[in-house]
């Protein structure tokens, strides 16, 4: 699901936080953070925040810092207490306490993670090494996607942009390891430096999985060449803002004409996508380029690329040598973060990402009581009464537009704090063994559920964020605004 954070979301979130917690915190606005030497009419941002900026340093484990970061840090401390208790006390098999406690325990078990090294991904790497034909290659691409490894392109279920009542299968450009196409094709010195650092990063990773230095170097260039071609075939971030550039519904037969070297029917059969006659291919021109690459890139080069995508996807789950290299490139070089966060913070985040619904249920018991949710609902009711009055009194808006705007406002759905309906984790096996395997199994469950959605009516009770998340979003297809409990905390 594509999520949008608009200014109205931030404004509403701030309004809710101020209204709900001002009394509890007993804090007023700290005027010492203002820089009164600045003319507010010239630079209001510096006027309001200038002294705070001067006296505040970004912590070395962060790439940015502000009030939401303080909030997130407070939430992590709450979550740590919950997870420490769950990992010590345990719970009945399959209970929220057991799932989050054992997952967190396995993540904190650095000794076992170090002993395992790259073993968790060796079965997949061995599988890739056995590819002997282009048909095998296509089969392996589907298998890697089923494991959450984003090779060549993306594929999954999501709301149909032209029919918001149904889930549809979506595919789209992908297969890159850096944030977007600019990192591969921009000729500026900064991006050239980043590309070389990325190549060196790949070389070191290949060496960790057994390649000698020269082979690892050669392989890094192979991956770079493939990803550069994928980047040139990809649309820019600006172009992707246009919904029309993200939607191209075709039949499976039409898709096979776009990519005669790739069988979508076989792909969907392997993925378990049932009863689909059409799907959103996203960017047809990208897939035409992929089709050509499937013909002229050698099988051995594709195997190297798939190895890389597997290694890179799992790096943070493996031993310290893998995780450190990943941090050095993605966090230190790309984001400017100077230090790795403490292990417990990373494990809190990992638990939330893997089984956040279970963790969220424990979190709201501590940090977001039912009466708090009721207060938020009342506050939003008041905000929407004010918005309706504003709509009625807008002189520049035509009556026809007002009618449509009001109709949209009346169907606006709000979700506050936490989901009322839970999906649960039935069938998910989490234990105190391998952290990597726990993560992979949790990820697998999410992927399988996503594929099962295709062709079914949209479930409007679902959330795109977990309760502890310090964020909010607006979802245009469903006309809903969502405020997790995490963002509704002090300060």
Q: Are residues 164 and 249 in the same domain?
A: yes
Clarify whether residues 185 and 78 are in a common domain.
no
pLDDT of the residue at 375: 84
User: 247-273 pLDDT, tens per residue?
Assistant: 999 999 999 999 999 999 999 999 999
Reduce the secondary structure of 60-114 to three states and give it as a string: CCCCCCCHHHHHHHHHHHHHHHHHHHHHHHCCCCCCHHHHHHHHHHHHHCHHHHH
* Residue 328 within any structural domain of the chain: no
Residues 132 and 98 placed together within one structural domain of the fold: no
Residue 244 lies in a domain: yes
Identify the pLDDT of residue 22.
42
Same domain, 57 and 141: no
Tell me: do 99 and 125 sit in the same domain.
no
Please indicate, yes or no, whether residues 87 and 228 belong to a single structural domain of this protein. no
Q: Are residues 137 and 265 in the same domain?
A: yes
146 shares a domain with 111 = no
**333 located within any domain:** no
Q: Would you list the DSSP string of 308-335?
A: HHHHHHHGGGS-HHHHHHHIIIIIIITT
- What is the rounded radius of gyration, in angstroms, for the C-alpha atoms of the chain? 24
Q: What digits encode the pLDDT tens for the residues 69-88? A: 988 999 999 999 999 999 99
Question: pLDDT confidence of 68, banded at 50, 70, 90?
Answer: confident
User: Does pTM surpass 0.85?
Assistant: yes
Range of the domain at 480: 7-116+342-488
- Domain check: are 84 and 168 in the same one? no
Query: What is the predicted pLDDT for the residue at 370?
Result: 76
In this structure, are 164 and 296 located in the same domain? Answer: yes
332 occurs within a structural domain: no
Domain count, the chain: 2
List the CATH number of the domain containing 164.
1.10.1380.10
Spatial distance between the Cα atoms of 212 and 482, rounded to a whole number of angstroms: 50
* 160 and 305 part of one domain: yes
- 17-54 burial, b if ≥16 CB within 10 A, otherwise e? beebbeeeeeeeeeeeebbeebeeeeeeebbbbbbeee
If asked whether residues 133 and 79 sit together in one domain, one would say no
pLDDT confidence tier of residue 25, bands split at 50, 70 and 90: very low
């Amino acid at each position: 699901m594509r999520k949008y954070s608009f200014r109205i979301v931030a404004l509403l979130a701030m309004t809710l936080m101020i209204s709900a917690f001002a009394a509890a915190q007993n804090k007023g606005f700290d005027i010492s953070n203002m820089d009164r030497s600045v003319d507010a009419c010239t630079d209001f941002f510096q006027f309001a925040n200038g002294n705070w900026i001067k006296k505040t340093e970004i912590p070395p484990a962060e790439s940015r810092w502000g009030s939401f970061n303080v909030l997130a840090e407070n939430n992590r401390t709450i979550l740590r207490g919950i997870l420490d208790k769950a990992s010590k006390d345990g719970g009945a098999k399959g209970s929220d306490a057991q799932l989050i406690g054992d997952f967190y325990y396995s993540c904190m078990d650095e000794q076992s993670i170090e002993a395992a090294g790259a073993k968790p991904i060796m079965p997949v790497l061995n599988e890739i090494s056995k590819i002997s034909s282009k048909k095998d290659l296509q089969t392996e691409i589907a298998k890697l996607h089923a494991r959450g490894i984003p090779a060549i392109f993306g594929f999954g279920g999501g709301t149909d942009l032209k029919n918001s009542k149904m889930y549809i299968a979506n595919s789209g450009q992908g297969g890159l390891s850096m944030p977007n196409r600019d990192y591969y094709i921009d000729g500026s010195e900064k991006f050239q430096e980043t590309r070389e650092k990325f190549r060196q990063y790949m070389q070191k990773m290949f060496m960790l999985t057994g390649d000698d230095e020269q082979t690892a170097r050669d392989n890094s260039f192979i991956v770079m060449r493939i990803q550069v071609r994928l980047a040139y075939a990809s649309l820019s971030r600006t172009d992707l803002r246009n919904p029309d550039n993200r939607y191209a519904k075709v039949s499976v037969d039409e898709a096979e004409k776009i990519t005669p070297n790739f069988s979508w029917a076989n792909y969907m059969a392997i993925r378990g996508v049932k009863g689909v006659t059409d799907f959103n291919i996203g960017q047809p021109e990208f897939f035409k380029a992929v089709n050509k690459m499937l013909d002229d890139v050698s099988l051995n080069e594709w195997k190297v690329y798939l190895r890389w995508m597997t290694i890179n996807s799992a790096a943070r789950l493996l031993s310290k040598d893998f995780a450190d290299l990943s941090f050095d490139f993605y966090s230190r070089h790309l984001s400017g973060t100077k230090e790795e966060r403490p292990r417990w913070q990373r494990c809190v985040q990992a638990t939330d990402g893997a089984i956040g619904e279970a963790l969220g249920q424990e979190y709201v018991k501590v940090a977001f009581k039912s009466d708090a949710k009721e207060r938020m609902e009342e506050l939003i009711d008041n905000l929407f009464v004010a918005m309706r009055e504003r709509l009625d009194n807008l002189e520049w808006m035509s009556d026809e537009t007002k009618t449509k705007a009001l109709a949209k406002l009346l169907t606006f759905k709000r979700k506050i704090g936490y989901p009322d309906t839970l999906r649960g984790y039935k069938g998910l096996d989490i234990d105190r063994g391998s952290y990597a395997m726990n993560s992979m199994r949790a990820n697998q469950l999410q992927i399988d559920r996503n594929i099962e959605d295709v062709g079914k009516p949209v479930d409007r009770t679902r959330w795109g964020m977990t309760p502890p998340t310090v964020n909010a979003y607006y979802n245009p297809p469903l006309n809903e605004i969502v405020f997790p409990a995490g963002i509704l905390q002090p300060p």
